[in-house]
Amino acid sequence: MKIEHKEGYTLINSDESSFSEFYTFFSNQHKELTKNNVILNISSKLVANEEEISLFLESADIHQESGTTFVVVYQNVDVDNFPETFNIVPTLQEAEDVLEMENIQRDLGF
């Protein structure tokens, strides 16, 4: 797992060989990142099913409660199979757009 601090958010990229390994590393690091906006970029080389992706719902809820944004980037998933409140998109650019939109909503008091 590679963690990069970008302007306005923390980018987490997967570089593990299995989803379970990546999720374990993420879970151990996430506690330190709950006050930051986070974009979690899951490599298309890392095969994950919807049940595994759903493991990040709890993290998304934590961020929402703390007033920050959590977005998952994964190309190989049908976003319609997840709750509307769960930010999951197929590209990094779309994740940055979601982050920007949520920042504007917070600034406007929504």
Instruction: Enter the pTM of the model.
Output: 0.93
Domain 2-107, CATH homologous superfamily name and number = STAS domain (3.30.750.24)
The reported pLDDT for the residue numbered 104 is 94
SS3 content of the chain, % helix, strand, coil (to 5): 45, 20, 35
Which sign does the torsion angle of CA 90, 39, 57, 55 carry?
positive
Cα 90–Cα 49–Cα 97 angle in degrees, nearest 5: 20
pLDDT at residue 88 tops 90: yes
d(CA 51, CA 29): 21
Residue 45: pLDDT band with limits 50, 70, 90: confident
Distance (Å, whole) CA 65 – CA 36:
12
Domain locations in the chain? 2-107
